[in-house]
């Protein structure tokens, strides 16, 4: 059975005080003996403080972005080595807000993913279609393209360091989440794609998360789906009580 994973993407929210307070509240309720994996992705300026706050707990820390080159003359960018140095174990790549607002293409996502995996970080690779693409029945085509481009040159040996997150763009921050059938269908398609691109072992062992308006009141239903191995949570991860309820839902379905 694939271990459930609950990840909280704080995006461009919190300041130093609220970030450490949120981290402290979560760390108090997440032990090292957890039956599920829990990680938070704070803004870059607060990674070190959050990492220090959750030390000794079951909460892991990840970054929301990374550069695709080794340290050097790249003003404003952040290297894998810097993220490791402040306690990161994870990084997000390919999030729709990076793809659509910043203009990151599959090729750039691919370079970031390979750099992160080869130099010591684990990766959550985000994929997902827009509303227009879903309405045009292009969901599977878009997922195929994003997976193929983002995983270009990535062999099966690196896949244990990679988690996939299906995030339908039309459900991110809108209050509208995919129906259980829509989520399960997309996750099943991604798992089938992995089997075809790699093999059955990779397909069955790779965790696929759902992201898109996940809240305490819908988390358990989503987490109970056979191909949903966890959730990538946005707004609901910014409040200790609500995020803790989502973690509890993952615990409940893991029993």
List, by residue number, the catalytic residues. 95, 167
Question: From the CB of residue 118, how many other CB atoms can be counted at a distance below 10 Å?
Answer: 12
CA nearest neighbour of 110 among 162, 71, 74, 166: 162
Radius of gyration of the chain measured on its C-alpha atoms: 17
Alpha helices in the chain (DSSP H): 16-29, 47-54, 80-85, 96-97, 106-118, 131-135, 139-150, 180-197, 200-205, 216-223, 240-254
Q: How far is CA 182 from CA 127, 137, 171, 187, 227, in A?
A: 15, 12, 12, 9, 12
Separation CA 167–CA 14 (nearest Å): 23
Q: Which residues of 133-164 are buried (b: 16+ CB within 10 A; e: fewer)?
A: bbeeeebbebbbebbebbbeebeeeebebbbb
Question: From the CB of residue 46, how many other CB atoms can be counted at a distance below 10 Å?
Answer: 22
CB 212 within 8 A of CB 235: no
Separation CA 133–CA 154 (nearest Å): 26
Separation CA 7–CA 149 (nearest Å): 24
């Amino acid at each position: 059975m694939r271990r459930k994973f609950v990840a909280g993407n704080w995006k461009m929210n919190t300041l130093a005080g609220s970030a450490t307070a949120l981290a402290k509240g979560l760390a108090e309720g997440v032990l090292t003996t957890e039956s599920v994996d829990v990680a938070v992705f704070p803004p870059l300026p607060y990674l070190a403080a959050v990492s220090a706050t959750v030390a000794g707990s079951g909460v892991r820390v990840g970054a929301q972005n990374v550069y695709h080159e080794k340290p050097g003359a790249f003003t404003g960018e952040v290297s894998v080595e810097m993220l490791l140095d402040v306690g990161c174990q994870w990084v997000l790549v390919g999030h729709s807000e990076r793809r659509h607002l910043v203009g990151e293409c599959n090729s750039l996502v691919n370079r970031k993913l390979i750099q992160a995996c080869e130099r010591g970080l684990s990766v959550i690779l985000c994929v997902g279609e827009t509303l227009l693409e879903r309405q045009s029945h292009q969901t599977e085509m878009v997922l195929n393209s994003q997976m193929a481009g983002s995983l270009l040159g990535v062999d099966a040996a690196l896949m244990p360091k990679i988690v996939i997150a299906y995030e339908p763009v039309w459900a991110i921050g809108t209050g509208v989440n995919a129906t259980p059938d829509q989520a399960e269908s997309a996750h099943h398609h991604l798992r089938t794609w992995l089997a075809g691109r790699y093999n059955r072992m990779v397909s069955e062992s790779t965790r696929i998360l759902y992201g898109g308006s996940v809240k305490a009141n819908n988390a358990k239903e989503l987490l109970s789906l056979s191909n949903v191995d966890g959730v990538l949570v946005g707004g609901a991860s910014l409040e200790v009580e609500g995020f803790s309820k989502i973690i509890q839902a993952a615990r409940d379905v893991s029993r």
